[in-house]
Structures are given as structure tokens and as C-alpha cells.
């Protein structure tokens, strides 16, 4: 850790405690409090970790005030327009953009890991048909640790590499199978002649009874959605994966934990919740009613797809997603989609409202993604599985980085205890 000359001094009572300050490549300085409890006998208190850096990372940087998101230094808008998902996967995993030969080898490796063990098909049949696909994905991904024993030893770099490739390659297959199972259609096997995004669309929408040709513009839009969701610093699900991994859990169990966390409506589940909200609003004349509810402290309703823990400006992904929504809906001849009109008018009215401006609440990545996914033919229940497919590479990249960190130790936060002082057991007769 460089730059240990700078110090912050904490004064508690008559004691001074010097704490090292570290300077990042970008972003705020950090104060190293690792020795604070040992020196001063106090904990810091930061529920929700709003002011806490949990790790030292080189993967993704976010500037919430400026609306900046970079992966290994490359801005997300450039990656979304010039790159493609598997190339971004390589960048996140290995730190540099690949050469043509490196990319070809990586894409070939991923392509040839897309099938899952045939016996895993039986897991799906244990679920009700109306199970949420995220429930199925948590179960099936966790079960991968029962099938791929040759890539669960996290101390073996070769096994870590295979597990990484298997998860990135098989997540679309598992998500598509969860969807097919939920609609009672047969599973569609992956095809090696299709690229990552086209393969996913084919596995979701092809049926044995007819040939399904993937529209290249929809495949490009799908690939862009994957790219925009790939990684996002230490968000809730990534932090979940890191914490699970810190105990030495196998990669499949860690990613299953990340999927479970992502499912929440405050996190990756917001894309489903946002489209359901837009449908509930239904028409632009009902927007004021919902904005009033979002502002009402006594009403738990929040505008789904709005606000962010870090972005206090536009989420740069939302800007790209909004452009993509216009393109896809134009292509599909649904540019007058009433839900898109409600979304655009809601964004306009909310951004003009002092409540949202003062609290720096802007559309986030989930605000427009659902509109595109629905136009592509996905039910709302598949929106968060799509997010999970994309974010797998981010979880895996952060998982690999943590395992390679010599400072890594099991994550074990403490607490501010405000329960009872110690007291003696009372027999039931005396209660
Ligand atoms: C993702 O962390 C990541 O990077 C996540 C993510 C990723 O790529 O991994 O970017 C993906 O999860 C995006 C966020 C998706 N979630 C939603 O769209 C759900 C709606 N948004 C909110 O629930 C909320 O904005 C959060 C959860 C996203 C952020 O919440 P914070 O940072 O804890 O902020 P907060 O709840 O303390 O809100 C600050 C204030 C509050 O008012 P006060 O108590 O200060 O008076 O803003 C209000 C909130 O009531 N507020 C909202 C609001 N979001 C916050 N009011 C109305 N509508 C909203 N959407």
C-alpha cells in the first residue's frame, strides 16, 4: 500500500491515534482503520457501508458526482459503442483489451463451455413451472458445485480459471433453460455458430417446430445490455460474492449467493419492478400521482429505476440504455410504445421536480433496460436473470482479484450492540 506518509489523527479523550491515509489512482483518499480497534478499542459505525472502502481494487471505477464509469480505465460509453460483451469480459478478467488472437482463443473457450452437464436438466424439473427464474438460477448455479468438482479448489489457479470460464459460458444457458421451463417449452441447446448474445436469444426464443433466425440488431442490443451490466465496483451483490468467497467457499456457491442478493428490488430486481411500475402508471396523466407518492415520506413507494447509492448524477449506463431503447423500438416498429412514452415523460417530470433534484435522484441502469427487454419478448420475470447473466463476469473478476490479494482475510464485521446486558436465566415458573 503506497503513500503511508500521510496520516489522519483521531482524538478520543486525551489520546491521539494516527491512521494512515492512502491515495487512489482516482477517487477519494482512504483512511486505514484496520488497527483502530487494537489501538483505541473502538469500532467505526457505517451501516450500509456508505463511507467504507471494503477492498483495494483495479477493476472498475465510478465517479458518482460526474456520472463516470470505467472498466480498467475504459469509459463505459466507449466500450458500449466500440467493444462487445466477451471482449469486455476479457478486459475485466485479465486487465487489458485482448489482441485479435487472444480474443479469438477466449471466445472459442467460452463457446465450448456453454453446455451444462446433461444430468443438471433434472434440477429444473424439481421446481414449480411458475417458480421465479431467479429462484431457479440460484438453485441450479449452486448445484454446479455438485457437478464440477474439478474446478472448486480455489487454491489452484488452473481450477479458478476453468470455473471462471464455465460460469461465464453456462450462465446464459441456465437462464434460458429457467425461462423455457417456466413457459413449458423444451430446452434449446447452445449453438457454437452463434455469438454470445445471439446464442442466448436463440436459446430463449427458438422452438423445435420452426427455425429461429436471430435478428442481428436485437443481438447487438442484447450484447450492449450485457456490456452495460457487466461490473459495477463494490455493489451489494459483488460485496456478497466477495464476503462468501472470503470464507473459502467454492466459486459456484459464491456466485449463487450473488444471484440471490441481486434479486432484491432495491438492486438488480429494480428492472422488473420498474417496468411493473411503469405499467401501473399506465398513462402520462397519472405520472403526477406517482411522483407525489414517491415524495410522500409516509408512503413506502419509490420510483423504481431512480436513484443510486453512488451516482448523484446521471448513471452513464442509463444514457446508453435510453439510446438503445429508441433504436430497438424503432426497429420493432413500436416507437410509439406507450410504456416508453410514460418512461420518458416520468423522467422529464421527475428531473424537473425539486425533490429529485435536491436528493440527486436520476434514472439508473434499470430505468430503461426493462423497456428494451420487454420489446425483445422477455417477460418481466426474466429481466433480473438477464442482469445476472451479465454481472457474472463482474462477480468472477472481483472474486479472482480478492483471491489473489495477499491481504485477503475472512470478512467479519463487528456491531454496535444495544441489546440487554448479561443477565441470569429465569425458570419458567418465575416469568
Ligand atoms: C442497481 O450499487 C450499485 O452499483 C447497484 C447497481 C449495479 O450496477 O450493481 O447500479 C444496480 O441496483 C441500481 C439501483 C436500482 N434500484 C432502484 O432503482 C430502486 C429505487 N432506488 C432506491 O431504492 C434507492 O435509490 C437506492 C436503493 C438505489 C439507493 O438508496 P440509498 O443510497 O440508500 O439512498 P437512500 O435510500 O438513503 O435515499 C436517499 C433519499 C431518501 O430520502 P431521505 O430519507 O433522505 O428524505 O432519497 C430518497 C430516499 O427516500 N430516494 C427516493 C428514491 N431513491 C432514494 N425517493 C423516491 N424514489 C426513489 N427511487
Chain segment 239-296, per-residue pLDDT in tens? 999 999 999 999 999 999 999 999 999 999 999 999 999 999 999 999 999 999 999 9
C-alpha separations of 377 from 186, 201, 204, 222, 337 in Å: 17, 10, 9, 12, 14
Q: Is the pLDDT score of 413 beyond 90?
A: yes
Ligand 1: distance of its center to the CA of 266 in Å? 7
Determine which residue's CA is closest to atom 54 belonging to ligand 1. 307
Grid cell, residue 353, equals 421536480
SS3 call for 73:
coil
294 CB within 6 A, ligand 1: yes
Ligand 1: distance of its center to the CA of 360 in Å? 10
Instruction: Say if strands 15-22 and 7-12 run parallel, antiparallel, or are unpaired.
Output: antiparallel
Catalytic residue (choose from 202, 232, 308, 315):
308
107 CB within 6 A, ligand 1: no
Residue partners of 201: CB distance under 8 A and separation at least 6: 214, 218, 219, 222, 376
Average pLDDT of 318-330? 89
Ligand 1: distance of its center to the CA of 98 in Å? 36
Q: Is the pLDDT score of 353 beyond 70?
A: yes
- Residue 391 or residue 365, greater confidence: 391
Q: What is the DSSP letter of 151?
A: G
* Listed residue (102, 101, 77) closest to 89, CA to CA: 102
Per-residue confidence band for 313, with pLDDT thresholds at 50, 70 and 90: confident
Residue partners of 287: CB distance under 8 A and separation at least 6: 281, 342, 345, 346, 349
* Listed residue (361, 344, 357, 343) closest to 274, CA to CA: 343
Determine which residue's CA is closest to atom 32 belonging to ligand 1. 309
pLDDT by residue (tens digit) across 1-37?
555 579 999 999 999 999 999 999 999 999 999 999 9
* Listed residue (160, 378, 382) closest to 255, CA to CA: 160
Which residue spans within 64-210 are E strands per DSSP? 68-71, 74-75
pLDDT by residue (tens digit) across 144-154?
999 888 888 88
The CA angle 186-115-230, to the nearest 5 degrees, is: 100
Burial degree of 323 (CB within 10 A; 0-12, 13-18, 19+): middle
Ligand 1: distance of its center to the CA of 340 in Å? 22
Average pLDDT, the chain: 95
Determine which residue's CA is closest to atom 34 belonging to ligand 1. 309
Q: What is the DSSP string of 317-353?
A: HHHHHHHHHHHHHHHTT-TT-HHHHHHHHHHHHHHTS
* Confidence at residue 149, expressed as pLDDT on a 0 to 100 scale: 84
Rounded Cα gap, residues 20 and 50, in angstroms? 20
* Annotation marks residue 18 as catalytic: no
Counted residue by residue, the chain has a size of 431
* Confidence at residue 4, expressed as pLDDT on a 0 to 100 scale: 56
365 CB within 6 A, ligand 1: yes
* Confidence at residue 154, expressed as pLDDT on a 0 to 100 scale: 87
Grid cell, residue 72, equals 480498467
Determine which residue's CA is closest to atom 28 belonging to ligand 1. 308
Q: Is the pLDDT score of 220 beyond 90?
A: yes
SS3 call for 115:
coil
Sign of the C-alpha dihedral, residues 75, 76, 79, 80?
negative
Q: Taking a C-beta distance cutoff of 8 angstroms, is the pair 154, 250 a contact?
A: yes
Q: Taking a C-beta distance cutoff of 8 angstroms, is the pair 242, 234 a contact?
A: yes
* Confidence at residue 359, expressed as pLDDT on a 0 to 100 scale: 94
Q: Is the pLDDT score of 388 beyond 80?
A: yes
360 CB within 6 A, ligand 1: no
Ligand 1: distance of its center to the CA of 61 in Å? 19
Rounded Cα gap, residues 126 and 39, in angstroms? 53
Give the N- to C-terminal CA distance of the chain in Å, as an integer: 56
Rounded Cα gap, residues 179 and 378, in angstroms? 9
Determine which residue's CA is closest to atom 43 belonging to ligand 1. 359
C-alpha separations of 260 from 10, 37, 122, 153, 263 in Å: 39, 32, 21, 22, 5
* Confidence at residue 275, expressed as pLDDT on a 0 to 100 scale: 93
pLDDT by residue (tens digit) across 81-103?
999 999 999 999 999 999 999 99
Average pLDDT of 185-209? 98
Burial degree of 18 (CB within 10 A; 0-12, 13-18, 19+): exposed
Grid cell, residue 401, equals 482479484
- Residue 329 or residue 387, greater confidence: 387
391 CB within 6 A, ligand 1: no
Average pLDDT of 217-244? 97
Q: Is the pLDDT score of 158 beyond 80?
A: yes
Average pLDDT of 114-129? 95
* Annotation marks residue 366 as catalytic: yes
214 CB within 6 A, ligand 1: no
Rounded Cα gap, residues 226 and 67, in angstroms? 19
Determine which residue's CA is closest to atom 26 belonging to ligand 1. 308
Residue partners of 353: CB distance under 8 A and separation at least 6: 291, 295
SS3 call for 387:
helix
* Confidence at residue 394, expressed as pLDDT on a 0 to 100 scale: 98
Q: Taking a C-beta distance cutoff of 8 angstroms, is the pair 397, 255 a contact?
A: no
Amino acid at each position: 500500500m503506497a503513500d503511508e506518509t500521510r496520516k489522519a489523527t483521531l482524538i478520543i479523550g486525551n489520546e491521539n491515534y494516527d491512521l494512515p491515509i492512502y491515495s487512489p489512482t482516482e477517487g477519494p483518499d482512504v483512511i486505514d482503520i484496520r488497527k483502530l480497534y487494537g489501538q483505541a478499542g473502538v469500532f467505526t459505525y457505517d451501516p450500509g457501508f456508505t463511507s467504507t472502502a471494503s477492498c483495494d481494487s483495479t477493476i472498475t471505477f465510478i465517479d458518482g458526482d460526474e456520472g463516470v464509469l470505467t472498466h480498467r480505465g475504459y469509459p463505459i460509453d466507449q466500450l458500449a459503442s466500440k467493444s462487445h460483451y466477451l471482449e469486455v469480459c476479457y478486459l475485466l478478467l485479465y486487465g487489458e483489451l485482448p489482441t485479435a488472437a487472444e480474443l479469438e482463443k477466449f471466445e472459442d473457450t467460452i463457446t465450448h463451455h456453454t453446455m451444462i452437464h446433461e444430468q443438471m436438466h433434472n434440477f429444473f424439473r424439481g421446481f414449480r413451472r411458475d417458480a421465479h427464474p431467479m429462484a431457479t438460477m440460484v438453485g441450479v448455479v449452486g448445484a454446479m458445485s455438485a457437478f464440477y468438482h474439478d474446478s472448486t479448489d480455489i487454491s489452484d489457479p488452473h481450477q479458478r480459471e476453468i470455473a471462471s470460464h464455465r460460469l461465464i459460458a453456462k450462465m446464459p444457458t441456465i437462464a434460458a433453460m429457467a425461462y423455457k421451463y417456466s413457459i413449458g417449452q423444451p430446452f434449446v441447446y447452445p449453438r457454437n455458430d452463434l455469438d454470445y448474445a445471439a446464442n442466448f436469444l436463440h436459446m430463449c426464443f427458438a422452438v423445435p417446430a420452426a427455425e429461429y433466425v436471430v435478428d442481428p440488431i436485437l443481438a447487438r442490443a442484447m450484447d450492449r445490455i450485457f456490456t452495460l451490466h457487466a461490473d459495477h465496483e463494490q455493489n451489494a451483490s459483488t460485496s456478497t460474492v466477495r464476503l462468501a468467497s472470503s470464507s473459502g467457499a467454492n466459486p459456484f456457491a459464491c456466485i449463487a449467493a450473488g444471484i440471490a442478493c441481486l434479486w432484491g428490488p432495491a438492486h438488480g430486481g429494480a428492472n422488473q419492478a420498474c417496468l411493473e411500475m411503469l405499467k401501473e402508471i399506465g398513462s402520462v396523466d397519472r405520472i403526477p400521482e406517482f411522483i407525489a407518492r414517491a415524495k410522500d415520506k409516509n408512503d413506502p413507494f419509490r420510483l423504481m429505476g431512480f436513484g443510486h447509492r453512488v451516482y448523484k448524477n446521471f448513471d452513464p449506463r442509463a444514457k446508453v440504455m435510453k439510446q438503445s431503447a429508441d433504436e430497438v423500438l424503432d426497429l420493432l416498429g413500436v416507437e410509439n410504445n406507450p410504456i416508453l412514452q410514460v418512461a420518458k415523460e416520468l423522467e422529464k417530470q421527475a428531473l424537473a421536480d425539486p425533490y429529485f433534484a435536491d436528493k440527486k435522484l436520476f434514472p439508473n441502469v434499470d430505468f430503461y433496460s426493462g423497456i428494451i427487454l420487454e420489446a425483445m419478448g422477455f417477460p418481466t420475470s426474466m429481466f433480473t436473470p438477464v442482469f445476472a447473466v451479465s454481472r457474472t463476469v463482474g462477480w468472477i473478476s472481483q472474486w479472482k482479484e480478492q483471491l489473489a490479494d495477499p491481504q485477503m482475510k475472512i470478512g467479519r464485521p463487528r456491531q454496535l450492540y444495544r441489546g440487554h446486558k448479561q443477565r441470569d436465566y429465569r425458570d419458567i415458573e418465575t416469568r
